[in-house]
Structure 1
């Protein structure tokens, strides 16, 4: 999402211009990098309450945390005068709607740099949050609190989404306030490379969802799912989520994706540093100067760049590819996410093997798997095979792909290989602890997951 004052004011004159915006993200292999984003729930260690932005009475909160991090060389990002994020170099720290703290990491050359970046981030957060008695836990869904117990951050676009979400799905507000994810961002070489990578990653995204499942509790009790976060996304807003069939159609490319995006309903427009509520409006109408909110005004490339960020498909095409199908998890799992996708997609032989692994799957099968894995995880099936077996094959391909890079990065796949070998996801381990060592206290999941 562009920050106020950073938008591209170039007028949009054709859909081809939008396709060229995506094409400009193409890079030669030598410039491919790795970006990782991960979210985590803040909680007070005494009582597990979620920190508010700026609690009355001077108690510590999220604003104080952001201000404390500024002393470590982070510059504030403001929304209506409120610090709602930080930036330093190519990285940023942002807030999800209920104060989930997100690191959007810099683009780095390899997974060792990803691990180092994560360790530095966690160290800095501990140094500031520790004296406040605030911990942070990456879990896919909040294990304790009801929706109305979660605070809201003072970000203009969240107020718009908060109003609109209940009109298009039953769980959009849960997505906003009670979920955390880990995301890997990868580059593509050209349009043909983008198409193959997008098809592979959309097909295998439900497999990744199963591997990373880490949200078996809702409001203190087992919820019957391994990934409640993934279940929430099934009824958030079907116009902008899931697995778009257009990606698998003949002739798909940058222009076809741009056309698809034009039919995703809008959320907002930024003008003069303010978010204007355009929720549900047509971006196509905006292109023609027919947006009721701004009569006669035509959309700019900055408006389109903002609109791209409001499509929540399981893999999102921007000027890179975002792998969005995983629950947040342990520190090792946070790096295993980019390791999986770099291994599958950054080596030619591995990419071809991954394409072969999924070649016979239909869109209907992939979508059915996407609906099954929140509950069944590794026990779900596709094309006559257990997801656990597909995951084992995908990990073997990824390991070969990482070995071919010659950097020793395959070590970061170890936690995923342990999950496949044991058949137990992070969620299964949490349920075992809940039943035995924790005596039915799901709040212990926050302390157990703290990073």
Structure 2
């Protein structure tokens, strides 16, 4: 989850809220790719999740990256809770999941190099202290009580609030992982088209990247437990956002949506002030109960935007949020999938042509079916397997058209990063299907084998 935002002055006009978003517009030659991924750490001998402190801990990994790989520390309340270097951040999710928020880069080649270097560095440290990391959409065995809450004020507030809204917020916080990509837009109209395509096709990403068929030590009856969790979290801040498809949608409509998302906190002087369930509209009028008489800054607005969790969202860029965390190859396949669709206009238009006739009920039904059945999902006359095949082909055409070479020009474009997805389309099996095959086959129902065979 996001680190506190900074650098914003006072909000003196309502228009500044939409202007903040519009300031993210960039010409195409400045579009970049920011890839984020989360992973679970565990002790190799006990297979238990990592505590925050101790010889084998999240803190030990952070200190190893800081001392051995040149990362600068980020602290909160005297605790090391993150790192930064060269435009990238390493941060902690609530249950100790380690997240890389990559730097904005020009090509998938560069972003995959970044991912690979990060995983090598983490493995170097992990091997020395008897720790492993694994990429899955949900923790397959550990209970809520097994997962320690990291020492971040934001998480302490959220942990209590999540027990009052929805049913699976605390599962999301401690026991799920994702991979996502952050992309740019050129204009308000470009943002609108991209966000509509992004929302409509998140179920395809969820299906292709489904990698969490287990919870509490056994199959959960779905292919993406993470997708199931997000459907039962907090309706006020999650979902497929039907209003995005309404005529006239733009930055101001997003502002109105975000203003209706209940607040979590206000960040002041290194501390998180409890504003749970309060209204940012009241804050704008100096009527926030948590800070009576005080009005927000643009930094507060930027923080608040990070507390809306729909399937895709905008800040000064757009985030694709629908995929499970997964194996090494798929950490590069996710940005490739979306860049191919979003950064070539012909591909974006082709994707929009496929989804523009769907109504809100269809989009929601696809979201549900994707989490439950992945590529085997069927909604009306829409077959997810065939839809995924068509969408990946469109993405591949977009990557070819971008023609971004790698390996010193030896690789002509970025299309090979889609190979993991093409394998799934060819076989009809996602990572979740492969895990279930192993569980029901040579693992004989012993889920502990997942750590040895699927760790990074």
Q: TM-score range by the shorter chain?
A: over 0.9
CA separation in 2, counterparts of 1:45 and 1:437? 21
Gaps of 5+ in 1: none
Task: Name 2:355's counterpart in structure 1.
Answer: 358
Deviations 1:208-252 (A, max 9, x none): 100000001112111111000000011111100011111111100
Q: Secondary structure at the match of 1:251?
A: coil
Return the alpha-carbon distance in structure 1 between the equivalents of residues 23 and 452 of structure 2.
44
Question: Using the alignment, how far apart are the partners of 2:3 and 2:351 within structure 1?
Answer: 37
Q: 1:60 aligns with which of 40, 56, 60?
A: 56
Alignment check: 8 A CA contact 1:329 1:449 kept: no
Question: RMSD between aligned alpha carbons?
Answer: 1.1
| Residue 69 (str. 1) matches residue 59 (str. 2) | no
Deviation at 1:7, TM superposition (A): 2.1
Report Cα offsets for 1:348-371 as digits up to 9, x if no partner: 111110110111111111012112
Answer whether contact 2:224 2:432 (CA < 8 A) is retained: yes
Answer whether contact 2:138 2:177 (CA < 8 A) is retained: yes
1:228 to 2:233 alignment? no
Distance 1:442 1:60 in 2: 22
In the TM superposition, residue 64 of structure 1 has moved relative to its aligned partner by: 1.3
Q: Does 1:425 align with 2:424?
A: no
**CA contact under 8 A between 1:98 and 1:151: conserved in structure 2?**
yes
SS at match of 1:36: strand
- TM-superposed CA distance for 1:9, in Å, is 4.4
Contact 1:361-1:383 at 8 Å conserved across structures: no
Give the Cα–Cα distance (whole angstroms) in 2 for the partners of residues 395 and 88 of structure 1.
Answer: 33
2:303 — aligned with what?
306
Shift of 1:383: 4.9
Q: After the TM superposition, which residues 104-253 of structure 1 pair with which residues of structure 2 at under 5 Å, given as runs? A: 104-253=101-250
Q: Who is 1:444 aligned against?
A: 449
- Per the TM alignment, residue 273 of structure 1 is displaced from its structure 2 partner at its CA by 1.2
CA contact (8 A) 1:44 1:51 kept: yes
- What's the CA shift for 1:47? 2.1
Question: 2:41–2:131: 8 Å Cα contact kept in structure 1?
Answer: yes
Segments of 5+ residues of structure 2 without an aligned counterpart are 405-412
Deviation digits for residues 321-358 of structure 1, max 9, x if unmatched? 10000001111101100000000010111111011011
Classify 1:92/1:260 alpha carbon distance in 2 versus 1 (closer, same or farther; 3 Å).
same
Counterpart residue number, 1:28: 27
Q: Which deviations, in whole Å up to 9, do the C-alpha atoms of 1:258-280 show, x marking residues without a partner?
A: 11100000000011111011010
User: What aligned pairs does 1:327-406 form with structure 2 within 5 A after superposition?
Assistant: 327-406=324-403
Q: Give TM-score scaled by structure 2 length.
A: 0.96
Partner of 2:407: none
SS of 1:167's partner is coil
Residues 136 and 3 (structure 1), Cα distance of their counterparts in 2 relative to 1, 3 Å cut = closer
Q: CA deviation at 1:446?
A: 2.4
Distance 1:138 1:370 in 2: 22
Secondary structure at the counterpart of residue 102 of structure 1: strand
Which residue matches 2:42? 43
Distance 1:380 1:298 in 2: 48
What is the Cα deviation at residue 3 of structure 1? 5.1
Question: Which stretch has the larger CA shift, 290-299 or 14-23?
Answer: 14-23
Q: 1:28-59: CA deviations, max 9, x gaps? A: 0001111100000001111211110014xxx3
Contact 2:172–2:226 (Cα < 8 Å) also in 1: yes
Aligned to 1:103: 100
Shift in Å at residue 156 of structure 1?
Answer: 0.8
- Equivalenced residue count is 447
Q: How far, CA to CA, are the matches of 2:6 and 2:214 in structure 1?
A: 40
Offset at residue 304 of structure 1 (A) = 0.4
- Partner SS for 2:60: helix
